[in-house]
Structure 1
Amino acid sequence: MATTLLSLLHALQASFSAYTLYLSSTAIQNLQKYEETSKKAAKYSNTAEHQLHKTRTTQASGALSVLLSCLCSAFLAIYPLFSGRVGTIKGLLVVGTNVAVLEMARQHVSAFWKDKAKMPLPGVGEYNDAITKTQEVKLNMAYLIASWAGVGVLSLVL
């Protein structure tokens, strides 16, 4: 019973992580449409170069942390079907790793994107959409952190 409940929760985590990965990939694709313009600006401005670098690294750290969450939760959802229950120590290590990685990435993304304003100009709708999607990814990362912490507590109780 406990193993089945934890597997179900991990399957839900994997699904939510996959959705968040979709949002992240959409934001990255939208930002890539402005990549050439950003590269040109970066040739003439250290600030533009720094902004381009931070845009890339924050998007990558968010996507990779959510990918790790997706893979770990999918693995933990199907592992009991083949090998029985995951040990408490191993399970808590996976939980702790996911909480730490997601939180570090969430803070990294937040530090850069919190002050980014949408531009009320024609032709930048996809950039504005990328900002919206990035904010949603950041919020979803907080939900994933909470879900990992909850699963960790449940695994100790059950």
Structure 2
Amino acid sequence: MATALLSILHALQASFSAYTLYLSSISIRNLQKYEETSKKAAKYSSIAEQQLHKTRTTQASGALSALFSFLCSTTLALYPIFSSRVGIIGAVLVAGANVAALEMARQHVGAFWKGKAKVPLPGVGEYNDAISKTQEVKLNMVYLVASWTAVGVVSLVL
């Protein structure tokens, strides 16, 4: 019973992590459309260079934390035998590692993208969409943190 419940929870996590990765990929793809312009600006401005670097690193940290969540939850959902082999301590450690990775990435993404306003000009729709998708990725990381916390608690209780 406990293994079945955890498998279902991990399958739901895997699905939501995959969706978050999808949103992240859209955001990254949309931002890459402005990459050449950003690189040119970075040649002449240290601020533009810093912004380009932070844009890249925040997008990468969001995507990598969602990928880590996806890989862990998929492994645990598809191979319940693995869950029983790692035991309670292992399950709690995996949950804790995911909580830590997702929360650090969420704070990293949030610190940079919080102050980014959408540009009310024609021709920058993809940039504005990237901002929206990034905010959605950040929100999804909150849900993933909650789900990994719940899985850790369930692992301890069951």
In the TM superposition, what is the alpha-carbon distance from 1:49 to its structure 2 partner? 0.3
Q: Which residue of 2 aligns with 1:17?
A: 17
Q: How far, CA to CA, are the matches of 2:79 and 2:92 in structure 1?
A: 15
Aligned residues: 157
Q: How far, CA to CA, are the matches of 1:83 and 1:138 in structure 2?
A: 30
Shift in alpha-carbon separation, 1:110–1:87, aligned structure 2, 3 A: same
Shift in alpha-carbon separation, 1:83–1:148, aligned structure 2, 3 A: closer
Q: Which residue of 1 aligns with 2:55?
A: 55
Structure 1, unaligned runs of 5 or more: none
Within a 5 Å distance, the mapping from 1:131-142 to structure 2 comes to 131-142=131-142
Q: Give the 3-state SS of the residue equivalent to 1:103 in structure 2.
A: helix
Given that 2:76 and 2:83 are in contact with CA atoms closer than 8 Å, whether structure 1 keeps it comes out as: no
Indicate yes or no: 2:36 matched with 1:36. Answer: yes
Q: How far, CA to CA, are the matches of 2:26 and 2:83 in structure 1?
A: 37
Given that 2:30 and 2:126 are in contact with CA atoms closer than 8 Å, whether structure 1 keeps it comes out as: yes
TM-score by length of 1: 0.97
Q: How far, CA to CA, are the matches of 1:109 and 1:127 in structure 2?
A: 16
Structure 2, unaligned runs of 5 or more: none
Q: Percent identity?
A: 78
In the TM superposition, what is the alpha-carbon distance from 1:135 to its structure 2 partner? 0.0
Q: Which residue of 1 aligns with 2:94?
A: 94
Shift in alpha-carbon separation, 1:75–1:28, aligned structure 2, 3 A: same
TM-score by length of 2: 0.97
In the TM superposition, what is the alpha-carbon distance from 1:83 to its structure 2 partner? 5.0
Shift in alpha-carbon separation, 1:130–1:76, aligned structure 2, 3 A: same
Q: Give the 3-state SS of the residue equivalent to 1:108 in structure 2.
A: helix
